Amino acid sequence: MRRSPSLVVVALVAMLTAVSTASADVGPLVRATGASPLPPGCSGAPQPGTLFPGSEVEPFVASSPADLSNLVAVWQQDRWSNGGAQADLTAYSRDGGGSWQLPTPPPFSRCTGGNPSNGGDYERNSDPWVSIGPDGTAHQIALAIDAGETISAVLVSSSRDGGRTWGPVKTLQRDTTAALFNDKESITADPTDANLVYAVWDRVQAADPEDPASTFSGDTLFTRSTDGGETWEPARTILDFPDNSGIQSLGNQIAVLGDGTLVNVFDLIDQGTPIVAVQRSTDKGATWSDAILVDLLLSSAVTTQGGVVDPSDGHPVRTGDLIPDAAADPRPGSTTLHIVWQDLRFSLLAPIANDQIVIASSTDGGATWTDPRRASANQVVQSFTGSVHVDPAGTVGVTYYDFTNDDPSGGPLDTDAWFTSSSDGGLTFAPRQRLTPAPFDMRAAPDAEGFFLGDYTGLTWAGGPFVPVLVLANAGDAANPTDVVSTAVTPEATGQTLGSGSAERARVRTARDRVERAVRMP
């Protein structure tokens, strides 16, 4: 879920259906979901907005370092048009994503058994995330809200049997006023120490929550567990913006480098201008650096058409345009980190500005960054919602969606998912591999301020192939408009250079300097 005044802002049955094979290097798509398992009216209160039963959006996935064939995935179930979903659900795989089982999920909301006594008495969930520690313990996190967004809470639960069962819900933060809103939380298990787990998110503070034009700020909050998720330290602010400054963080995500350094990656939004930034910690989150700006994020949120759109009629497509994704090189001692996001610097056509997926890398633990390079292949169409992961050999994998096979004159909004990889640290990328054997119609997706598959998708490594976990839309099936699917993809050899954004750096110095002056540590 996103909220920014400046940007308007039970046991379950698995559905294990192989769809089709894309190519020799891309496995069949495997469905993890089907019709909604949630009962009607399960939120326990009248709800505004339009509900899309059977819809799944915004998946994430992690593989277990203790058993790489053990994957855990999470997603939003039954999305609302005006924010959040009926529940966050989960699945686990014991065969590297070849099949999925859906266990009883944590009771993060009323629709999954939440109540005042178990810590899950909430009407809606959003922003699911999962991470697995070196001992195989899985930790998932969720945003819990009411329909009016006057209550927001960050909840966690852990599984010590590979995702089959989940422990009690623990509350990391809860606010009960619309003037304070927690958002876009993530969780990271430290790969070097099973006792350490980190959680991070933003909290928007609005001077007048009833006024969309109200002044506001949005600090970064952090907490950690030092006993494998059994208990958590009190949440504290690690990046504090001046009150009413119009500056906030969004999409905070902690990566753990091979040398143990923590890097918090996020989008720093200043008066509507988004900038990719990071913070560093060399003492496992006890202290944090000031913000380090990676590059100006020329987000589609600031284009004249308002972001990614249907080329035929301009209808909004809600994408991950404000959410960077990060992946550390996992090799011991490595100080390399890669970030992907979408922006407009490589746009070719007007009046439709074509977002592309770009990547920037650091080899010194996030202190300095390369110029962004393009990772998406087709510059003449909009590319969006990129994800990145790095395998133990240092191969960088990237997934994204685009409209390569769409006919912009009208009809279905044909959409495909793609994978590309780099074996030289993001300098060059292999020819992309198509993950979808046939395009799907984005118009069948839930309309939540635009056709919506999620602000992010999942990508992990399962001991050989990369495993993307995506959402595809099902045209003609109103009872089951989207599904979570997985596949396995073997990278091709790196071969093509897709471009550098060095010319952009001179254009962003003024914005960079202004934001750096505004950032204050607590």
Domains of the chain, by residue range, sit at: 5-33+50-518
pLDDT for the residue numbered 404: 97
Q: How far apart are CA 285 and CA 185, in angstroms?
A: 16
Q: Consecutive 10-residue runs of the chain (522 residues): their mean pLDDT?
A: 44 32 76 97 96 98 97 98 98 98 98 98 98 98 96 98 98 97 98 98 93 92 98 98 95 97 96 92 98 73 69 95 95 97 80 87 97 95 97 97 94 97 96 97 97 98 96 96 98 64 37 38 36
Q: Which of 231, 244, 144, 145 is nearest to 204 (CA)?
A: 244
Which residues, listed in sequence order, are joined to residue 422 by a DSSP beta bridge? 396
> How confident is the model at residue 2, as a pLDDT?
65
The two three-digit tokens of residue 19, written as one number: 């769809």
The CA distance from 346 to 344, in Å, is: 6
pTM score of the predicted model: 0.91
> Cis omega (within 30 of 0) on the bond before 351?
yes
Tell me if 359 sits within 8 A of 388, measured CB to CB: yes
Task: Please tell me the class of the 5-33+50-518 domain.
Answer: mainly beta
What DSSP designation does 15 have? -
**270, two tokens:** 């200043």
Is the CB of residue 203 less than 8 Å from the CB of residue 183? yes
Angle 270-186-307 (CA atoms, 0-180°, nearest 5)?
45
pLDDT at 521: 36
> What single-letter amino acid sits at 30?
V
Q: In a 10 Å sphere around its CB, with 0-12 CB exposed, 13-18 middle and 19+ buried, how is residue 181 labelled? A: buried
Neighbours of 265 (CB within 10 A): 26
Helix (H, G, I), strand (E, B) or coil at 399: strand
Residue type at 66 in one-letter notation: A
